[in-house]
Structure 1
């Protein structure tokens, strides 16, 4: 079988290579956020990597970006592209960390910028009735009105994108097709006229990568595959141990067994608590 012409757009290294181009990233964000005239992003600045929260295991966001829209409003966008079983918890921790960390850098509360997380998932997260692109905000339950605007989330579930090339219509369709199908096509869709999408395909073309960059791409793929398999292995061993011990007592023992497996593989405490559902008290009491 011939090697694909384009690399995987969701690979960490490829994703950064494509969206480090500011024009491509602005086009992508305006499309995915479905921003209308008057609210579109016009300017962005990449936040230095050392200022992005690290929650252990080097798990930072792909990009932390300060953006300006046409109305003159600044806010911060975090791009996430490392889904795992506890991705939703991790994304919310990222958002709150980015928000609160602004006050640690000398800003008073009046000048803290809102945070929007854009999370791309190579699969699905939510029930089928929720669309491929969904926006999540904090709302008052009785009236369904929004009064808290500081933290919000946009999730892009590539597993729900099922349109064929002939069915592509809106610009977000073309971006979703690019992310979900990059390794499956031999050329960009014929109906693509957006210059930035065409440029994004050009960046992903295998022959435009030097050996060092391609090696980094392969390492990122192997790292992601290994991490996924390690967590699956820890879960399967822990669940088996729990079943041996019975339901009530076995549930805790199963969690502890999973935690021990993850400790042995070098995972940090925060990640282990997220993955297992153990409390900090249980972790300190039963584990060394």
Structure 2
């Protein structure tokens, strides 16, 4: 058997984010958030795209959004690329998920907790080697918890997980190993077959079970990730070199933007076809941060209308 990479956006959503995958998601969240204890018994899965409820509020793209049986909201993001200001994006998404629960006349007492679970394929916190980490509000000097324990940021850094198959002990170990290593396996390991939800996750991840259209979408995403990694690396190198030569910060930024523009145009052509000169001109006007956001958003585009609608939400220079 050959298994798809659970770290890709397509595979992660397919394995954990469908109505048929509730039991998988419950086991996964119990493992990563509650040390393998059966704390979560049921949950609801919502569409991962979170449209802003306040005019002008930045749109949010998540991999999975779920409401637990105690009304806690969990937003889950699998992040492969270490992009600029990612830490701020996590905090923004968590704060937005918390604050937009209320309608105008609702009381603050109706607010329910939010947990933002982020799995990264890179190291975020170099100061410690722990694979999982949890952040909450505390008093700065005495580290006393804030009275309301309502916003929590939880992280799993896959590169820090070093256990081999024979060293897996807990449900948490097995799920992290699945995320990190499933794509490299040819059979379901015996030690993981004992967990029905993980066995089911492997079944969904079996490449032979995917349709031709799903395989094409997965391939496009894998190409996108590879291209973007290469483009980011090349753009940074070009920007640094140009910055050294010119001795100006503008040189470094321009080099990064040139690389991003080239990648975006190539990906757009693959995703929705060639764009006309007017749309191309608008794309050229985007800032580095806006190009970054477009690179994330275009995976959700089906045709040119989606792109033009997205461009209309951006603050572009007046003609």
Distance 1:43 1:81, change over 3 A: same
User: C-alpha displacement at 1:109, in angstroms?
Assistant: 2.1
Rounded Cα–Cα distance in structure 2 between residues aligned with 1:31 and 1:211: 33
The TM-score, its normalising length taken from structure 2, stands at 0.73
Aligned partner of 1:155 in structure 2 is: 155
Any idea what the Cα deviations from partners look like across 1:19-39, whole Å, max 9, x if unmatched?
1200000000000113575x8
The TM-score, its normalising length taken from structure 1, stands at 0.80
Aligned partner of 2:178 in structure 1 is: 178
Contact 1:118 1:153 in 2 (8 A): yes
Contact 1:89 1:274 in 2 (8 A): no
1:79 corresponds to 2:80? no
Aligned partner of 1:165 in structure 2 is: 165
Distance 1:270 1:26, change over 3 A: farther
Aligned partner of 1:136 in structure 2 is: 135
> In angstroms, what is the RMSD of aligned CA positions?
3.0
**Higher RCO, 1 vs 2 (CA within 8 Å, ≥6 residues apart):** 1
Matches within 5 A, 1:22-41: 22-35=22-35, 40-41=39-40
Rounded Cα–Cα distance in structure 2 between residues aligned with 1:254 and 1:114: 41
3-state SS in 1 of match to 2:149: strand
Rounded Cα–Cα distance in structure 2 between residues aligned with 1:150 and 1:133: 19
Name stretches of at least 5 consecutive residues in structure 1 with no aligned partner. Answer: 276-283
Counterpart among 14, 19, 22 of residue 17 in structure 1: 14
User: C-alpha displacement at 1:170, in angstroms?
Assistant: 0.7
Rounded Cα–Cα distance in structure 1 between residues aligned with 2:261 and 2:150: 35
User: C-alpha displacement at 1:181, in angstroms?
Assistant: 0.6
Distance 1:35 1:170, change over 3 A: closer
User: C-alpha displacement at 1:96, in angstroms?
Assistant: 1.7
Contact 2:158 2:180 in 1 (8 A): yes
Matches within 5 A, 1:22-101: 22-35=22-35, 40-52=39-51, 55=58, 60-68=61-69, 73-82=70-79, 83-86=81-84, 87-101=86-100
Distance 1:64 1:181, change over 3 A: same
Aligned partner of 2:289 in structure 1 is: 271
Distance 1:112 1:263, change over 3 A: farther
3-state SS in 1 of match to 2:42: strand
Q: Give the total of aligned pairs.
A: 265
Aligned partner of 1:280 in structure 2 is: none
